[in-house]
Amino acid sequence: MQETIWTLAIICIVLIIVSIVFKVAPQFQQDKDFSKLQIRVKTWWGMFVIFCFATLFNPKVSLFAIMILCYFALREYFSMMKTRKSDRRIFLWAYFMIPIHFYWIYIGWYGMFIVFIPVYVFLFLPLPRIIGKGTAGFLRSVSFTQWGLMLMVFGLSHLAYFPVATPEYGANLVLYLIILTQVNDVIQYLVSLYFGKHKLAPTANSYITWEGFIAGLIITTLTSYYIYPLLTPLDFTFGIISGILISVAGFFGSLTISVLKRDLLIGNTEKLEKLKDRYLNRIDSLAYTAPIFFHVIRYFFEFM
């Protein structure tokens, strides 16, 4: 517990410094776009408060907060789609699945947690769309909804299952995961902004470059090396592997959701700009890093 308190105190100090820096920086470098980083900083403060409560007080607060985050992320995801009236019923059922899914986490039923959305919801979800609504646009609305549930609910909900899977280490593992994910995002963005010359996937994400990706990978791995003894029971090998894993997974998460947004909002530049300040830009990487890190640790370590 003492290590956790010290870690949270250091994070608080770093957040204060970073908040000041990115508040002042645009005044001196007006040609640079710091809006994405400012959004990230706001997200960090929210996560910091949540995990202070989750780590030091009651983990149920974290579970409820993550459930609400999933709801808003899914709603924002649906807002990108050109919908028909026939889609509203399936969206309503998708929202209804969120508290049910989190109930399995609350009672610790891992078997149902892991198959509920990928299997049962996948098989059930087309039915509300079929009954009385015809076939027009069926595949697009159903597949779009299922993609949203997998990314915004199933993926992110792994953050809530860590404390259930391992009450002793769960909250610290989540804190460790979030720190590395956010460090990776920021380093990728800053290095790409200042030093990047070779775009990695310009049609998907215009910010990230090869220089940013490699720098993010190195810095995230080094950060993992220094903090894994404080926050996790992992050994040296997995402390290093976790940094690499989270960096690569975070990159693919950010890239995937960038592609989704551009595909769904082709020709709607105004709406695409508005989404820069919303939830999807804040949790895109976590939708990938949370489930991948969870299952790798669960497979190799008995404490999960």
Is the model's pLDDT at 204 over the cut of 50? yes
Higher pLDDT, 275 or 195: 195
Residue 267 has a pLDDT of 46
In the block, tokens 């609350």 appear at: 106
Over residues 101-140, the pLDDT tens digits come to 999 999 999 999 999 999 999 999 888 877 766 667 778 8
Q: Rounded mean pLDDT of the chain? A: 82
pLDDT band for position 13 (cuts 50, 70, 90): confident
Q: CB of 262 within 8 A of CB of 248? A: no
Stretch (H or E) spanning 199: strand 199-201
**In the structure encoding, which two tokens stand for residue 133, read together?**
């609504």
83: DSSP letter: -
Over residues 267-290, the pLDDT tens digits come to 455 555 555 555 556 677 889 999
The torsion angles phi and psi of 202, rounded to 5 degrees, stand at -60, -30
Residue 266 has a pLDDT of 47
> 33-37, 191-195, 202-206: which range is least confident on average?
33-37
Residue 258 has a pLDDT of 79
Residue 96 has a pLDDT of 94
Residue 80 has a pLDDT of 77
Q: Where are the domains of the chain?
A: 57-165, 167-304
- H helices within the chain, ranges in order? 2-28, 35-56, 59-79, 88-106, 110-115, 122-124, 126-130, 138-148, 156-165, 170-194, 210-231, 236-264, 269-274, 280-283, 286-300
The torsion angles phi and psi of 81, rounded to 5 degrees, stand at -90, 140
The torsion angles phi and psi of 169, rounded to 5 degrees, stand at -115, -10
3-state secondary structure of 205: strand
pLDDT band for position 35 (cuts 50, 70, 90): low
Higher pLDDT, 296 or 13: 296
Averaged over 161-166, what is the pLDDT?
A: 91
In the block, tokens 């991948």 appear at: 292
Residue 249 has a pLDDT of 94
> Cα dist. 49→52, 54, 192 in Å?
5, 9, 29
The structure's pTM equals 0.84
Its sign, for the CA torsion 52, 58, 61, 62, is: positive
Residue 298 has a pLDDT of 92
Residue 101 has a pLDDT of 97
Is the model's pLDDT at 224 over the cut of 70? yes
